[in-house]
Amino acid sequence: MIMETKTDSNQHWLVPITGVKDSVVPYFLAGNGSIDKSIIDNLDSDVILLDKELNIVLMNKAAEQTFGVNFDEVKGTNYLALRLKSIEQELVKNLDNVLKTKKTFNIKGLQLVSPDNITHFFDQSCIPILDNDGSVQGVLSISKEVTKSVNKEIQFQKTQKMLKELSRELDIKNTEIQRLQASLKERYSFHNLIGKNYLMQNIYDLIERVSQTDSTILITGETGTGKELVARAIHYNSPRKDYNLVAVNCAALPETLLESELFGHVKGSFTGAIRDKKGKFELADKGTIFLDEIGELSIPTQVKLLRVLQERQIERVGDERHIKVDIRIIAATNQDLLELIEKGKFRKDLFYRLNIISIRIPSLRERTDDIPLLVNHFIEKFNNRFNKSITGISPNALRKLMSYSWPGNIRELEGVIEKAILLEESETIENIELLTDHSVESNLFLPPSSNAKSDIPPYDNMQAHLDTLEREYFVKVFQKYNGRIGKIAEFTGLNRRTILNKMKKFSIKKSLFKQHG
C-alpha cells in the first residue's frame, strides 16, 4: 500500500489513503498534512482520533455533543469509557481488528445505550493511523447517528409483523366464517333441496339414513314439491352413486310402449322391434331406478313390477329368459294409493312392497318460511341464466308470495320468479303476478270443494295437516294485527310466551307483517 505522510501538530502519523472514502481523509487534512480541528468541527459526523491504546487524542464538536462531554475534559482518557452502558462487543471487536489488520472496518447500525438508558444507533467507520514504518499508531473513528432512520425501520418491521398477524387472524376468521356459511348452506340445501323448515330438516335426516340401505322407497307429495330431487338425493348419497340413476315417468308413455320401455324387448317381438333393446331396469343395473307417477301403471304392468320387486329379475317382451338385475327401486306419486286400492286401480300387495320406507314431501303451503330461501335460490339461478343482476325482492312482493297458497308448489314458485326476473327493470323484484283465487286469505277455513278430497293427507300424517291449519290460522291473525304481539295475545287469549313459541315452531317473523308507510 502506498503511504502518504500526514502530520499532526503533536505526532507524525501516516493515514492510508487507498480504500478510504474521499469524504473521510482529504477534508480532515490541513495544508501541511495535519488534521485540522476547525475543519472537523464543521462536520455533522462524530470524528474522534485515538492512539493505539484507544485513548482520545482529538474530538470534534459533533462528538462532544453526542457524548455530552468537553474534549479538554476527556483528552487522554480511554474511548471505551464514554460507552459505560453500551453494547460494546462489536465495537471492541472492530477496533481490535483495525489494530491487528491495519485495515478499515465499517459497522452498520451499531447499538449503544447512553447513560440515561436511551438506545442510539450509529454507522461507524474505523480507519488505521500508521507511522513511517507502517506500524499502527492509532485509529480514526468516524460515526454518524442513524437512530431516527433505524427506529423508523424497526417500527416499519413491527408494523409489517403486526399486519401479517392481523392478516393471518383475518384469514382464520374468514375461513371459519366460510366454514359456518358452508355448513349452514349445506344444512339448508341438501343435494339441490332447499329448506330450513323443520319438516324439510326431518326429510334430510331421513334421506341420510335410508340412502345407505337398498330398501324400496315410496315418495309421496303434491305435484311440484320436488319428489324427483329427493330420489336423486337418495341415489347420490348412496353406495350406488357411481352407477346410473334411471328416471321413468310412468304417466308419459302409452301402455303399449311402457312395458317395452321398462323391461326391454327382443328383435321381432312386435311390429317395429327391429333389434334387441335393453329396458330401463337393465340400464339401471347396479344403480337406481326412479318410477315417477307409479299410480298410473296398468294392473298387468303392476304384476310384472311386483315380480321384479320380489325376485329382482325381469323378462324382456317376447323373451322367456329371466335376466337378473341388481337395482334399488324408488317410486313416487302425487295420488292417494290407498284410495286407488279401494277403487281397484292399484294392487294392495304392490303397495306394501313399495311402501317399505315412506317419505312424504310437504307442500309449499306447509313450509312458507322456506319461501325467502327459495326465492333467493331462484334469483341466483335466473340471474346466471339470463345475465341479469337482480339483488333481491321487495318486502311487499315477498309478503304477497308468503300469503299465496301455491297449488303448483315449488315448480309454480320457480315459474313466477323466472317471469318476474325477465320482466323486472329495477334492481329488486317489485311486481309479482299470481293467480288471485289461491291466496291463504281467500280460502282459509272455507268448506272443502268436492274435488278437494285428494288434498286430505293420510291418517298417519294428520298431525302435520293440523300443524298446517294452525300455522295458517296464526298467519291470518298476524296479518290482521300487523304482527303486534300484544294485540294478538288479546285476540287469541294466549299469553305472550305461548305466541312466541308458536312463532318459533312455525318460523313466523313478525317483521313480514308490519305495515310500511
Each residue's pLDDT expressed in tens, for the chain with a length of 517 residues: 333 333 333 333 444 443 444 333 334 444 454 566 777 788 888 888 888 888 888 888 888 887 778 888 888 888 877 654 444 566 677 777 888 888 888 878 777 776 677 787 888 888 888 877 778 888 888 888 888 888 888 888 888 888 888 888 888 877 777 766 555 455 444 667 888 888 888 899 999 999 999 999 999 999 999 999 999 999 999 999 999 999 999 888 887 788 888 888 888 777 777 888 888 999 999 999 999 999 999 999 999 899 999 999 988 888 888 899 999 999 999 999 999 999 999 999 999 999 999 999 999 999 999 999 999 999 999 999 999 999 999 999 999 999 899 999 999 999 999 999 999 888 999 989 887 645 544 333 333 444 444 455 555 556 666 777 888 888 888 888 888 888 888 888 888 888 888 888 888 887 777 765 4
The H or E element containing residue 299 is helix 299-311
pLDDT at 439: 52
Beta strands 5-7 and 105-113: pairing type?
unpaired
pLDDT at 334: 94
The string over 101-116, giving b where at least 16 C-beta atoms fall within 10 Å of a residue's C-beta and e elsewhere, is: eeebbebeebebebee
Rounded distance, CA 216 to CA 357, Å?
7
| Cross-strand partners of 13 | 6
452, 333 contact by CB (below 8 A): no
Give the E-state strand segments of 351-509 in sequence order: 357-360, 392-393, 428-429
262, 279 contact by CB (below 8 A): yes
The rounded radius of gyration (Å) of the Cα atoms in the chain is 46
| 510 phi and psi angles, rounded to 5 deg | -70, -20
pLDDT at 26: 37
